[in-house]
Each structure stands twice: as C-alpha cells, then as structure tokens.
Amino acid sequence: MSQAPRERFLAMPMNDLAVVFDNVVKRYDRLAAMDGITLSIESGEIFGLLGPNGAGKTTSIETLVGLRRPTSGRVLVYGYDPIAQRDEIRRLVAVQPQHAALFEQQTVAELLRVWASFYPDPADPDDVIGRLGLGDSRDVRVSKLSGGQQQRLLVGTALISRPRLLVLDEPSTGMDPNARQDLWEAVRGHRDSGGTVLLSTHSMEEAETLCGRVAILHSGKVVALGAPDELIRQHAPDQELRFTVASGTALGELESRPDVSELSAHEQNGHTRVSLRTSDPDSLFTVLTTRLGARQIQTRDAGLEAVFRRVTGASFADIHGEG
C-alpha cells in the first residue's frame, strides 16, 4: 500500500519541498474554505490546483503567501512560515493575481523596467517581454492592451523577480490560443531554469498540458492528487465517443450496453448528435457503423473533467457555472 500524502511528505527531506500544506483548515464562521488540505509541492515541478470557483484555490494561495492565517494546520514555503517569516517569503515567491492595478499610462517596457528596479537581481525586461510574446506591444501603453495582453503582463511582473516559486492564479483568462501558447512556454521556461510553479486553474486542458501533478479541490478538500495521466487511468479509463445519426434513430441498444455510460443526445440541424462514454470503443464501432449508420465519429480520452465527475459525483461545468 502506498504512503498517505502526509506520511509521504513528512518523510521527505524538507529542502526537496517548495510547499507543504499539513492538514490546513481555514474557516469563515461555519464555512470551511480549506477543509483539512494536505499536499506537498516538490522543488522544480509545475503543480496544479484544479477546481471550480469556490473550491478553495484562491484561499490556498492567500494562505501560502501569508495573506491569510490558517484556522489550524501548518503551511511551509521552503521551510518558512508565511505568517511569521513574511520577508523571506517575499524574497522567494512571486504571485500573478487574477486582477491587479497597473500603471496605465506606462508602456509595457516602462512598466517592467520599473518592476525590475524593485529587485536586486531582476530578469531582463526585454527577455520577459519576448518570453511572453509581447514584443509587438513593447511600446504600447497598458491602458491600450487587450485583456489577454494585460494578463500576460501581470505574469511578466511576477517573472521579473526571478522567483524560486512562481504562483499563477488563473493566468490564461481572456487569452486567445496563440497568447496562451506563449504563456505556457514561459511557464515551462521558468521550470526548466530551476524554478517551481504553482498553477491555480479551472482549465482542464491547461492542467493536463502543463502540470506534472495536480490536486483536484472540491468544497475545500483535496479529492484527488497525482499526475494527470495517472488520475485518468485510475478514475476515468474509458473514452468519450461523439457521433451523428439520423434524426429519430433508436438508441436503446446503446443505452442497454454495460460498457456504455453517460449517454446524451440532442437534435442538431435535422440530425441527432450523440455523446457517450465507453470502456470498449472497439466493439462499439461495429454497432455504430453497421447498425446505426453513424457518421462524424470522434473519440478522445475522458480527461480530467471525467475524473472530477467521478470523484465528486458532480459536473465540473455545472459547478463552475459554464455551459
């Protein structure tokens, strides 16, 4: 039997750990924003906190950087207490918040040069601009940037200090696909240069793409912890199939199969679009193509969204207010 998370990180040399949450509780009256969270983040990894709004992600970050005092439990960042040793935390950690006020009349380059002046050994502002794909916006005033560009600039203000631990809170909000790819490359670059990254996100794709390990949070608790592919194999090994059949096609044969679950169907442009999950996609193809006349068949792994649904019994999109 594998060690429990608390036993595992307490047995690990402390200098191998960037962050420790040891049975951390944070209560507001009767509401537990963090309800016994136990996890550790190793130096040099990209670690994801994954969950919908209200899951406890932001409170965990605020506790980690000393903005919130835990009701009980222990938090350590490179062995330091974020409340008692805040100066050390400021030296080691940089945070990109979801929202922050920036000097709107400065250009991107001017703002990053000002930020660099606050630190003894800053990164080169031009290098940060290039890493985040902001070269075309270098001389543009902050007030003229798009929402996605401002998000990347916020990440840049965190990277400029060369932090050992980079904390990103929903960093890709408002970004187009190209900007998001630039951001992801910058995050990997920070890891590759020896840094550690804590990424708070509600994007399943972002977590699967970037993170070596993730903790799925739900109602202030860690409900799953591990590498994304391991969690998918453990909790959601089936595949999702999507296909189109003629309107009015009977789907009873599919609904009665033991290897089919979560079947849904809706009318679309005179046809029926069907989505289901199956543990045996190969045997299902024969049924779809020969007896149901299915077209536009698409398959994909169930992914972390299915893991969330399995470990919580709820749809991530419904809890997050999407879809």
Domain ranges in the chain are 5-233, 238-301
Contact yes or no for 152/132 (Cβ under 8 A): yes
Q: What is the pLDDT of residues 173-201, one digit of tens each?
A: 878 888 899 999 999 999 999 999 999 98
Phi, psi of 163 (to 5 degrees): -70, 150
Name the CATH superfamily, with its identifier, for domain 238-301: ACT domain (3.30.70.260)
Fold of 5-233: Rossmann fold (3.40.50)
Q: Rounded to two decimals, what is the model's pTM?
A: 0.81
What pLDDT, on the 0 to 100 scale, is given for residue 11?
45
Q: At what angle are helices 108-116 and 147-159 packed, to 10 degrees?
A: 20
Amino acid letter, residue 145: L
Q: What is the pLDDT of residues 77-112, one digit of tens each?
A: 999 999 999 999 999 999 987 666 778 889 999 999
* Topology match between the domains 5-233 and 238-301: no
Query: Token digits for 148?
Result: 């996605």
What pLDDT, on the 0 to 100 scale, is given for residue 157?
92
Report the candidate in 69, 65, 106 with the shortest Cα–Cα distance to residue 88.
65
State what percent of residues in the chain have pLDDT above 90: 63
Q: What is the pLDDT of residues 28-54, one digit of tens each?
A: 988 899 999 999 999 999 999 998 888
Contact yes or no for 154/100 (Cβ under 8 A): yes
